[in-house]
Amino acid sequence: MSAIPAPHHLTYDTTAAWLIRFATTADSVEPELTALDQRVGDGDFGTNLTGGMAGVRRALQALSDGPAADRESPAAPLATAARVFLDDVGGTSGPLFGLLLQELAAAVAANPATAGTRELAAGTTAGAAAIQRVGEAEVGDKTLIDALVPAAQALTACAPDTEPGQALHQAAVAAHQGAGSTTDLRARRGRASYTGDHARGVPDPGAMAIALLFASYDDALSSLDQLP
Amino acid sequence: MPLYFADSAESIVPDALAGFASAHADLVSHHPDHGYLRARGGSAQRRVGLVSGGGSGHEPLHAGFVGAGMLDAACPGRIFASPHNRQIFEASRAVAGPEGVLHIVKNYTGDRINFGIAAERLAHEGIPCARVLVDDDLATDSDDIAVGRRGTGATLIVEKILGAAADEGRGLEDLAALGAEVTRRSRSLAVASAAHTAPGSGTPAFELPDGVWEYGVGIHGERAGSTTPAVPLTQFVRTMTDRLLAALPDGPRPRVLALVNGLGATTSLELYGILHALTKALDDNGVALDRSLTGTLVSALDMRGFSLSLLAADDELLRLWDAPARTPAWPL
Average model confidence (pLDDT) across chain B: 95
User: Which amino acid does the sequence have at A26?
Assistant: A
Q: What is the value of ipTM here, to two decimals?
A: 0.89
pLDDT tens readout for residues B46-89? 999 999 999 999 999 999 999 999 999 999 999 999 999 999 99
List the single best residue of A89, A99, A145, A193 to mutate versus B (max B Cβ within 10 A): A99
Strands B28-31 and B36-39, how do they pair? Answer: antiparallel
- Residue B173 has a pLDDT of 98
* Distance, CA of B206 to CA of B221 (rounded, Å): 8
- Residue B330 has a pLDDT of 97
- Residue A190 has a pLDDT of 67
Residue A1 has pLDDT above 50, yes or no: no
Residues of B in contact with A106 (CB under 8 A): 124
Is B58 a known active-site residue?
A: yes
pLDDT tens readout for residues B195-225? 999 887 888 999 999 999 999 999 987 888 7
A92 near B CB under 8 A: yes
Q: How many CA atoms lie within 13 A of A29 on its CB side?
A: 21
Average model confidence (pLDDT) across chain A: 90
CB A185 within 8 A of CB A140: yes
Residues 6+ apart with CB under 8 A from B275: B258, B260, B292, B294
* Distance, CA of B119 to CA of A93 (rounded, Å): 16
Instruction: Tally A–B CB contacts below 8 A.
Output: 37
Who wins on pLDDT, A189 or B228? B228
User: Which amino acid does the sequence have at B280?
Assistant: K
Partners of residue B189 on adjacent β-strands? B308
Band of residue A41 on the pLDDT scale cut at 50, 70, 90: confident
With CB atoms and an 8 Å threshold, state whether A134 touches B120. yes
With CB atoms and an 8 Å threshold, state whether B117 touches A106. no
CA angle B207, B212, B213 (to 5 degrees): 85
Question: Which A residues in the span 126-145 are in contact with B, Cβ-Cβ below 8 Å?
Answer: 130, 133-136
- Residue B332 has a pLDDT of 78
DSSP secondary structure, B183-234, as one string = HHTEEEEEEEEEPPBPTTTSSBSS---TTEEEET--TT-PPPSEEEE---HH
CB B271 within 8 A of CB B310: no
CA angle B306, B17, B217 (to 5 degrees): 20
Q: Please give the share of chain A, as a percent, with pLDDT higher than 70.
A: 92
